[in-house]
C-alpha cells in the first residue's frame, strides 16, 4: 500500500476520534444546563405558589375587614332603628341591614374559597420542594460526572492531537493539502472503493481506474466527490457460485433395451 494512503487512513480515524471528543466535551455543559433549567423551573414553581399564598392571605384580610365594616353598619342601623318614628324609615333601615348581611355572607364565602385555595397552594409548595430537593441532588451529581468526563475527554483529546500531528508530519504536503480541502467541504476525505463504486457518493468508477485503485499503490481520487479512494480486499464480495449442470436422464427405450439384453454365458 502507498505509504501516504496508509497514513491518511490512520489520520482520518484520528480526526474522527478528535471530532467525537470535541462534540462530547461541548455536549456535557449543555446537558448540565438542561438539568439546571429544569431545576430553575421547579424553583419558579415554588416561588409562584408562595406568591399566590401571600396574595391569598392579603385577600382574606381584606374580606375580614369588609365583614367588620358591614357588621359596624348593621350595629349602627339597629341603633338608628330604635329612634325612627315612621314605618318607611324603619323599613329602609331593615333593607340596609339585610343588604349588609348579604355582603357579609358573600365575603365569608370568598374567605372560605380563599382558605381552600391556600390549602392547595401549600400542598403544591410541599410537592414542588420535594422535587426541587431531588433535582438539586441530581444537578450536583451531573455536574460531578460532567467534570470527570470532561477531564477524561481532554486527556484523550491531547493524546489524539499529538498522534494527529505526528501523522500529518509524515504525509506528502500536496496530498495532505488535498486531504484538508476535502475535509473542509465533505467532512471526510477518504472513501472506500468497492464493486467499482465510490462508497461515499455511489458514483461508478471507470474499469481501468478501479483496477489501479485496487492495487493501493497510488493516490487516486473520485472524479465526482474528490475523496481519496482506497481498496480493502477484505470487503470484496465472494464470487457467486455457478449452478452445477444436471446430468441428462437416459432415454426410457435405451434403459429397457439394456434390461432386456441377455447376458453372455
For residue 237, name the pLDDT band (cuts at 50, 70, 90): low
Structural domains of the chain, with CATH: 11-169 (1.10.287.1490), 173-235 (no CATH)
Comparing 51 with 36, the larger pLDDT belongs to 51
At 257 the pLDDT is 46
At 231 the pLDDT is 96
Distance CA 5, CA 227 (A): 12
Cβ density class 147-167: b for 16+ within 10 Å, e for less: eeeeeebeebbeebeebbeeb
DSSP reduced 3-state for 220: strand
Structural element, H or E, at residue 79: helix 3-81
Q: Is the pLDDT of residue 238 over 70?
A: no
DSSP reduced 3-state for 192: strand
Helix and strand element counts for the chain (H, E):
5, 4
52-102 pLDDT, tens digit per residue, is 889 999 999 999 999 999 999 999 999 998 888 899 999 998 999 999 999
At 37 the pLDDT is 85
Distance CA 4, CA 161 (A): 19
Sheet holding 197-198, edge to edge: 197-198, 190-194, 228-230, 220-221
172-204 pLDDT, tens digit per residue, is 999 999 999 999 999 999 999 999 999 999 999
Contact between residue 132 and residue 46 where contact means Cβ atoms under 8 Å apart: yes
Q: Is the pLDDT of residue 150 over 70?
A: yes
3-49 pLDDT, tens digit per residue, is 999 999 999 999 999 999 999 999 888 888 887 887 888 788 888 88
Q: Is the pLDDT of residue 213 over 90?
A: yes
- pLDDT average, residue stretch 127-147: 84
At 244 the pLDDT is 62
Q: Is the pLDDT of residue 265 over 60?
A: no
Q: Within a 13 Å sphere around the CA of 192, how many CA atoms are in the beta-carbon half?
A: 8
119-132 pLDDT, tens digit per residue, is 988 888 888 888 88
At 246 the pLDDT is 59
At 43 the pLDDT is 86
- Sequence-separated (6 or more) residues with CB below 8 Å from residue 81: 90, 93, 94
Amino acid at each position: 500500500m502507498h505509504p501516504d494512503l496508509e497514513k491518511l487512513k490512520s489520520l482520518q480515524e484520528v480526526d474522527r476520534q478528535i471530532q467525537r471528543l470535541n462534540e462530547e466535551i461541548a455536549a456535557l455543559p449543555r446537558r448540565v444546563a438542561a438539568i439546571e433549567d429544569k431545576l430553575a423551573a421547579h424553583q419558579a414553581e415554588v416561588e409562584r405558589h408562595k406568591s399566590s399564598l401571600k396574595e391569598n392571605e392579603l385577600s382574606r384580610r381584606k374580606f375580614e375587614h369588609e365583614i367588620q365594616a358591614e357588621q359596624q353598619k348593621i350595629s349602627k342601623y339597629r341603633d338608628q332603628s330604635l329612634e325612627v318614628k315612621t314605618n318607611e324609615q324603619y323599613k329602609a333601615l331593615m333593607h340596609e341591614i339585610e343588604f349588609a348581611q348579604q355582603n357579609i355572607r358573600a365575603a365569608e364565602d370568598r374567605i372560605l374559597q380563599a382558605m381552600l385555595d391556600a390549602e392547595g397552594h401549600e400542598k403544591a409548595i410541599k410537592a414542588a420542594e420535594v422535587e426541587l430537593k431531588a433535582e438539586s441532588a441530581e444537578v450536583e451529581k451531573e455536574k460531578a460526572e460532567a467534570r470527570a468526563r470532561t477531564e477524561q475527554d481532554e486527556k484523550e483529546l491531547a493524546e489524539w492531537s499529538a498522534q494527529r500531528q505526528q501523522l500529518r508530519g509524515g504525509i506528502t504536503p500536496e496530498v495532505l493539502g488535498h486531504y484538508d480541502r476535502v475535509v473542509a467541504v465533505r467532512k471526510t476525505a477518504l472513501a472506500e472503493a468497492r464493486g467499482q463504486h465510490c462508497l461515499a457518493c455511489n458514483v461508478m468508477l471507470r474499469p481501468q481506474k478501479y483496477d489501479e485503485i485496487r492495487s493501493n499503490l497510488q493516490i487516486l481520487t473520485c472524479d465526482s466527490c474528490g475523496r481519496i479512494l482506497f481498496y480493502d480486499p477484505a470487503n470484496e464480495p465472494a464470487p457467486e457460485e455457478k449452478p452445477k449442470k444436471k446430468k441428462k436422464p437416459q432415454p426410457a427405450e435405451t434403459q429397457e433395451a439394456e434390461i432386456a439384453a441377455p447376458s453372455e454365458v
